[in-house]
A and B are shown apart, each in its own frame.
Chain A
Amino acid sequence: MIAQIISVIGQTALVLLFSPLITAFSRTIKARLQTRRGPGLFQPYRDLHKLLRKGMVIPETASWIFTATPYVLFATTLLAGLLIPTIATQAPLSLFGGVLAVVYLLALGRFFLALGGLDTGSSFGGLGSSREMTISAIAEPALMLAVFTVALGAGSTNLSSVAQAAVGQSWRFLSPSQMLAFAALFIVLIAETGRIPVDNPATHLELTMIHEAMILEYSGPCLALIEWSASMKQMVLMTLLVNVFFPYGLSADGSPLGMLISVALFVFKLLILALAVVLVETGNAKLRLFRVPELLAVAFVLSALALISTFLFGVHGG
């Protein structure tokens, strides 16, 4: 019991404090690739600190949904963060079928975010919400199918069991089903975290925004919660990818030295994945909005193929 409380607290702290650093790392690498210096690794923390101290402007037309959204989003994302194994194979919490809960907690947050965008009645919020929903309608099934593929291999949808099963079979990711599922999840990661070629997090052009358009009306602490949630969501999805497919270094015993190595490897894996996302972002232009469903359809087909090949070739690569 006490061990579980400690691990809940530890993982909460890890998700809360480490997630902005991944955002900062991505931005810094991106800046370097564009021959800029970038604002440094602590900028997201400074931004959060600044926003949390500021006053808020709440539109007159907004209802309770507008103010509730940041809290719902923050809580669901953080809870999702507690359901995934980060440094140990055992996740601090396991609720309602493990990975399914992660997917639906994130979906609940997105649902509220879209409502929050619509709530003020501003035309940009409406645009953003409708675009977000269009994209998630395809991204979500792709995510589910890919997750099922992994779960099939492990014989459980519980992420801790999935991770444990993965630790035992270190070359499993070379099997066709796992590689296809990884590719599908990588595309979903880009779409869900709003990166080029799906969305451009750095643009100032309201007319092209997706995620940013929904949150245009937010300010102060509410905006801080939303920005923080976005960082956490990115970390949750990235962790899901690295730990399910490349579980090396997940500590199974919980010894101090094992934990230390796990932390180092975990950070290393996340940064490598962040680097890969940044390289995709830098080398591509943003897709035309109506092409985004095509990209996500690719992810869907990949995960469907992954699922089929699980049955054709087996999980262990034949």
Chain B
Amino acid sequence: MMDNRPRRLDEILSACGSALSRKLTSSAAEIYVDLPAANAPAASAYLRSAGCRHVAVFAEDRVAEDSHDYIYYVFEHPDDCRYLVLRAAIDLDDTAFPSMAAEVPALNWQEREIQDWFGLEALGHPNPRRVALHDNWPDVHPLRKDFSIDTVLPPFEGEQHVYRPTLGEGVFQIPVGPVHAGIIEPGHFSFAVAGEPILYLQLRMFYVHKGIEKRFEQLTADRAVFLAESVSGDSSFSHGTAFCQALERIGGVEVPEPAHRMRTILLELERIYNHVADIGAIVTDVGFVIANAHASRLREEILRINEELTGSRLLRSVVCPGGVRRPWDRDHVSNTLAALTPFEREFNELVDMIQSSDSTRDRLERTGILNPDQARDLGIIGVAGRASGHDRDVRRDHPYAAYDSLEIQVPVYQEGDVLRRMQVRIDEVRESLQLIRAAESGLASGPHRVSMPPLPADQYALGSVEGWRGEILYWVRTAANNRIARCRVKDPSLNNWPAVVEAVQGNIVPDFPVINKSFSLSYSGTDR
């Protein structure tokens, strides 16, 4: 199936001539091209004009091996199932790389992470302040190889993070967080308001930065799976799967078909339980609590199915490189998944209840609008992207697990308000139920995993999964002895926070919680 897919990237690359001709490697999933760092902005501009999306940028310290740092730029094209990765080498005596954040706002935080973690300056960045390391850190760069993970930093008093001042008659500032009233993680929101309407919002994240990307470099590949699962606890199976896919590509391992289908079923169950919880949380934030009571109950039904299938309610320790950890009994699976039929009926009742509530609709419609232009400029992905006209879904565009043999309907709306972000979730829950049934009906008996050979050193690959929030991207390079040399984790939350800033502008303060909830971003996944 994959071979029949269009391969637009080949055309685009050859049309560019010699500038993008230094192909490093090419596989069924990725193309790597080498280019001088100075040419990267022009190359990105060319690729974007050819219809590509600039997905990500990240760095790697290879000074010890080949006296260079590398910056990687990841692109995708709607008519190609592969990712294109441009690699720009940074010489030892050069400590800067050209910034593209002014043209591609989606790269804003990612470039600043490279500044903070690698000490490479993003030349021409419009807002080059620290983002990942807070101001009470000394000037260290933790992802450099010469920074030992057990370094104990001396106490350091840094400058306070400076927020843009709030000026004007009757304009004042409302600081919220970083510690919040609900059971959520820390993040600081600073609103500038004139009465109730919000003029602008400033965000501060990375309060729970745990150095996960550094920690990966201390672990062997099979133990690192558990770390990937804990990047964002509500997406543990998606994160684990994305990481395993990267390892499987590096090892050249073909996952057996039954394992593909098992992974598909579990990925969709993870999507359902989170979407149902979010639908409930959105209506709670407008005070329609009774619908949340039912949503919470329905989420519990799915968690019980998870437990019955895997022994883990939140699908921890289930996926492993080469497949899944335990085999499934065919009859047990179909008996367990039979519970999805009453679930679907009750889910439809819940949706009816929400949609027939005029007062709920009144709160959600035209609230927190992220219009399609803003979404495209900021590179917003996942649920929020699809509610704002951005027709992307990794399951369909870069098929993995059993998705290349399944038909996937991707819901897309243009209005970009809270109501549509909830509607995307509703549609996706229904689609997920269909996908689970389709995956289950084709579940043949066979091995649930293949054993992984020791990974070759110094190889690299991407792994990507459409988590319930959106595209989860892993880039892994192996070291000797089955270890990880570098693991870049890109959770959709990191990508989508700027959308919240845009969407709240012009709304009133009491609508912020429901707008924020409609994006439902992970603090842990952002901060890592």
Contacts and interface: CB of A to CB of B under 8 A. Distances in A.
A8 interface: no
Interface string B500-524: 0000000011111100000000000
B362 A291 contact: yes
B508 A123 contact: no
Given A206-B181, A207-B509, A208-B510, A286 B173 contact: no
Contact of A207 (B287, B357, B359, B512): B512
B154 interface: no
Interface string A273-288: 0000000001111111
Contacts of B512: 207
A255 B289 CA distance: 46
Interface residues of B, number: 32
Contacts of B196: 289-290
B172 A200 contact: no
A123 B290 contact: no
B174 interface: yes
A5 interface: no
Nearest to A288: B363
B283, B287, B513: residue with the most chain A Cβ atoms closer than 10 Å: B287
Interface in A203-220: 203-208
Nearest to A202: B289
Contacts of A33: 290
A285 B359 contact: yes
A31 to B, nearest CB: 9
A205 B181 contact: yes
Interface string B235-264: 000000000000000000000000000000
Interface string A37-62: 00000000000000000000000000
B357 A284 contact: yes
Interface residues on A, range: 20 to 34
B181 A123 contact: no
Contacts of A197: 287, 359
B288 A284 contact: yes
B359 A284 contact: yes
Contact of A205 (B182, B290, B363): B182
Contacts, number: 80
Interface string B67-103: 0000000000000000000000000000000000000
B171 interface: no
Contacts of B511: 288-289
B287 A196 contact: yes
A204 B517 CA distance: 14
Nearest to B361: A285
A285 B287 contact: yes
B285 interface: yes
Given A34-B289, A197-B359, A288 B175 contact: no
Interface string A125-142: 011001000000000000
Contacts of A124: 174
Given A205-B182, A206-B176, A289-B196, A282 B359 contact: no
A285 B513 contact: no
A286 B174 contact: no
B181 A286 contact: no
Contacts of B363: 285-288
B196, B294, B357: residue with the most chain A Cβ atoms closer than 10 Å: B196
A197, A200, A288, A290: residue with the most chain B Cβ atoms closer than 10 Å: A288
A123 B173 contact: yes
Interface string B116-140: 0000000000000000000000000
A83 B359 CA distance: 37
24 contacts: A30-B289, A34-B292, A35-B297, A130-B195, A197-B287, A197-B359, A204-B182, A205-B182, A205-B513, A207-B512, A208-B285, A284-B288, A284-B359, A285-B286, A285-B288, A285-B359, A285-B363, A286-B288, A287-B359, A287-B362, A287-B363, A288-B511, A289-B510, A290-B508
Interface of B: 172-176, 181-182, 195-196, 283, 285-290, 292-294, 297, 357, 359-360, 362-363, 367, 508-513
Interface of A: 30, 33-36, 123-124, 126-127, 130, 196-197, 200, 202-208, 282-291
